[in-house]
Amino acid sequence: SDGSHTSTAGSATPTDDIPTPSHSPTSSNSPPAPTPSDEFPTPTAGSPTGEASTPSDSFTPSNCPPTPTPSQNPPTNDLPTPTVTEEPSDCDAVCCNKNDGISHIFEGNCQKFIVCVGGKEIVLTCSNNLQYNSATGECDYPDNVDCPWPQPPPSGPSAGPSGTHCENGSRCVGQRDGTSFTNESSECSSDYVVCQCECEVKRSCSSPLMFNAKLGVCDWPTSFGC
């Protein structure tokens, strides 16, 4: 033997690896350690975040009824046409909507004429066989009237212009025939006179009418303050 010692069995053999240290003992009741993650956890609903939430475009509460959708076609049923009932007229045909004092010839008789008073027809007769002249609205000689109907011949003592002269001082002196005046005793009277040949011919309005000197016709007393 050269004196060197040879290692015996059971001696430790060195190795290049470093033994891996074991983990520290843990309690069997502890939860496992969390695994690190590169991403932030996603917040649950209702959790505060760093960003503002985006509002919803529409919101319909569950307790509200749905909004009705308008129809594109309007209803076709037309409204009923109201029935207009005309009130019965309270005026005579010739004098409806005519001013008081308007006169018209009487149909079929040129010696008579109609005067409108309050929408009513008042029939008057020209004195002394005179005829109503539509052009002047007055009683006139038959020769001056173009009467479309045949008339009876004049009769009686007062027929036509007799040429009889009246007493001077009469209101009809110088007046044309047919001119009328009220009774001298009162302005509110049914009596009046009509001039004929410069004579006063007495006439009288039918009751309850009175002579209206302003219009020269028989009229309702209330129409001219009587």
CB 95 within 8 A of CB 102: yes
pLDDT bracket for residue 64 (50, 70, 90)? low
Closest CA to 114 of 188, 13, 214, 218: 218
pTM of the complete model beyond 0.85: no
Write out the E strands in the chain: 103-106, 109-117, 120-125, 131-133, 138-140, 180-182, 191-196, 199-204, 210-212, 217-219
CB 201 within 8 A of CB 194: yes
Residue 192 has pLDDT above 80, yes or no: yes
CB 200 within 8 A of CB 178: no
Alpha carbon dihedral 125, 129, 131, 137, in 10-degree steps, equals -60
pLDDT bracket for residue 39 (50, 70, 90)? low
Tokens describing residue 57: 């475009």
Residue 184 has pLDDT above 50, yes or no: yes
Count of Cβ atoms closer than 10 Å to residue 15 Cβ: 7
